[in-house]
Structure 1
């Protein structure tokens, strides 16, 4: 008796706002790397911006098809219609969006094509708070669509998202970190020699320079640390989309007398190596979801000192890592000093962190949870409904409001 034909792979679309930098973007790349040789997944990545970025280059080197869909505004009608066309042309069977704009456009396109749709919510606060009311309304309408699968990256995100989902629950699929995020042997010594900090105690912060990350609080805390432990360096790794904010941080470092000890490295492609060179990872964020940067630090055995936001306390549970209230630079400084001045405790916390991330935040389990969601809904057809007036189509609504959503 002959076996039946092999089942065809799921034609899966990931839609993401950009591939410049950030935890959500890194997760798209991580998923692509983890599934590229699987016979059950055929992934195409759709990006609502242009290419030529480190993450897009990484995907293309893996032979993952990337479709670029830059647009003038969120509801650029031409871009929306092209997204629909490209999804149809590739016979996409499931659409999964990441971040706000992709949720809006991906959700509408999937509904138009009657495809199953999921969106991952990455933060306890969405970017809609900082843009137009129309954008926020569109985002919430997709989260409340019949059939939308809402995935939260952590417990704190799931709880916070109930405001936008209208009380609807999310499936919690915690973020993961891949083995690619672990620096190779010898990286620590090489980076420290390259940056001229061979004998220094090194602190590192990783994340885009935006208000959420509270780098002003971090500098205020580090200024206190540098007085007690002067032979230290603080590395700040991340791009700065707001030039004024970046200049203000540089001025603050100068005013605090720590300009020579704080190094703004910008966006880097060797983050694992930089993490391995550090003695402490620090985050002063005012809010988070489940930050990939913390997971990557843990995977490299770097002890963490972070604020008690998002799922930070949960992912660091039982490691001994200090978790302090946000907006309290003095408390952050004390916790940093405690670990900097205790070599044994620092080593124990780093080892515990490495063990915990390996046991609870591995890529294989993460991918299996996601593919199970896709498999359960692959053959479901969706109603064409946007949570707006029944007579309003996506294209006509976009045309009516395109100037309000830029």
Structure 2
């Protein structure tokens, strides 16, 4: 079928694990909505239905598909058996959907969706397959089978997308030809981070004093995100910080919050650290802040860094994954080694200088606007989808 027919059929099915409030889930949500506005026909198949992003997609009339689990599945007494039966039913539901709708492009996000969806797709008429890798491949060390299955699936993809040079290098090391990889950086709608409310009005809502130095980290509470390093760093420099300072930790608790709270208390900074959980008003929280942080031990390319830069915050980030591709050390923020509380603490002290914060923050916002805009990101995806059509025509 030629390119002219591909233009007529612009259907894309995204396959992802869930629609929770995570970086990949938010990215896919924005991508689907933006593509629909540009005349594409996106839909989503989710392995585990539900999640906050579901409402946003439904408000924008993006179809969401998932397996309907029979009631008897929940009655299975064995958790492992229940999970396996649910996986089989989910795989069959995706297989049936692909045969029925036959989307022009099938696009996988995150490992579980890639493995389940990729294998299922081999038994359907769909041939244009894309996988997006959004993290470093460290997870394969703990899931050897995942790594083997992904390497087996890579040659069966039409294209593989990376969101940073670091992730691209991982894929090449896994045997993917550089010619088959496309680099598309995450994109941010800068205007979403221009708050219409005053800084103090936003602080009043959160009961934060006008003179307080506020540090904000947007990352789910997972060990590799490095919250412990950050709290240790702040505990060590507490006497060098102004009397009123706050660390806002924004993100879902994956089981470590109690331990982090205990650590903060033991260091004498329990009253300075607030855990806010998942929030939808990220733009407002960033607008009331002074410094943004991401202290991960591993990363692909983080949206939260771009969001902080878009809000005009100087960023302190660890030198992992694509972090240093976003933040220019000494220009838009400070890049420090991972797992280095001492260096983190010194970076925070350096950014107590208000003039430096304003200069770095302004440059960071300009960098997002010029390089990491949502428009540039969507342009990249459109070019990829068109490339598949040109290849078929050739």
Q: Same fold (TM over 0.5)?
A: yes
Q: Does 1:226 align with 2:227?
A: no
Q: Is the CA contact 2:185–2:372 (under 8 Å) kept in the aligned structure 1?
A: yes
Alignment of 1:384-403 (within 5 A): none
Is residue 306 of structure 2 the alignment partner of residue 295 of structure 1? yes
Q: Distance in 2 between matches of 1:266 and 1:147?
A: 37
Residue 48 of structure 1 and its aligned partner are, at CA, apart by 0.8
The more displaced of 365-374 and 67-76 is: 67-76
| Cα offset, 1:96, TM superposition | 0.5
Stretches (4+) displaced over 3 A: 4-7, 126-131, 378-381
Give the Cα separation in 1 of the matches to 2:220 and 2:355. Answer: 31
Separation in 2 of the partners of 1:218 and 1:370? 35
For the Cα contact (< 8 Å) 1:30–1:178, is it kept in 2? no
Secondary structure, aligned partner of 2:195: coil
Q: Deviations over 1:273-315 (max 9, x none)?
A: 1011110001211111111000000011011011111122221
Give the equivalent residue in structure 2 for 1:215.
Answer: 227
1:217 partner SS: helix
RMSD: 2.2
Alignment of structure 1 residues 155-234 onto 2, 5 Å? 155-163=165-173, 165-169=174-178, 170-179=181-190, 181-186=192-197, 188-199=199-210, 200-229=212-241, 230-234=243-247
User: Please, which of 237, 242, 246 is the counterpart of residue 250 of structure 2?
Assistant: 237
Equivalence for 2:79: none
Asked if 2 retains the 8 angstrom alpha-carbon contact of 1:218 and 1:283, the reply is no
Please state which structure has a larger fraction of its residues in helix. Answer: 2
1:276 aligns with 2:287: yes
CA gap 1:290/1:70 in 2 versus in 1, 3 angstroms: farther
Give the aligned length: 370
Q: CA deviation at 1:378?
A: 3.8
Q: Distance in 1 between matches of 2:68 and 2:347?
A: 44
Structure 1, residues 150-186: CA drift from partner, whole Å, max 9, x if none?
11100011112333x3253321111111246414221
Which structure carries more relative contact order (alpha carbon 8 Å, separation 6+)?
1
Q: Distance in 1 between matches of 2:348 and 2:30?
A: 31
Aligned to 1:390: none
Partner of 1:64: 62
The answer for the alignment partner of 2:264 in structure 1 is 253
In structure 1, the residue matched to 2:80 is none
Q: Distance in 1 between matches of 2:6 and 2:292?
A: 47
Q: Distance in 2 between matches of 1:7 and 1:357?
A: 31
Residue segments in structure 2 that go unaligned for 5+ positions in a row: 70-82
Match of 1:98 in 2: 109
Return the alpha-carbon distance in structure 2 between the equivalents of residues 120 and 6 of structure 1: 21
Residues 54 and 269 in structure 1, CA contact (< 8 A), matched pair in contact too? no
How far apart, CA to CA, are the structure 1 residues paired with 2:142 and 2:220? Answer: 16
Return the match for 1:154 from 145, 164, 173.
164
CA distance in 2, matches of 1:219, 1:364: 36
Unpaired runs of 5+ residues, structure 1, are 382-406
Q: TM-score, normalised by structure 1?
A: 0.86
1:316 matched residue in structure 2: 327
Q: Secondary structure at the match of 2:230?
A: helix
Using a 3 Å threshold, how does the CA distance of structure 1 residues 74 and 251 change in structure 2: closer, same or farther?
Answer: farther
Offset at residue 7 of structure 1 (A): 4.2
Aligned counterpart, 2:43: 44
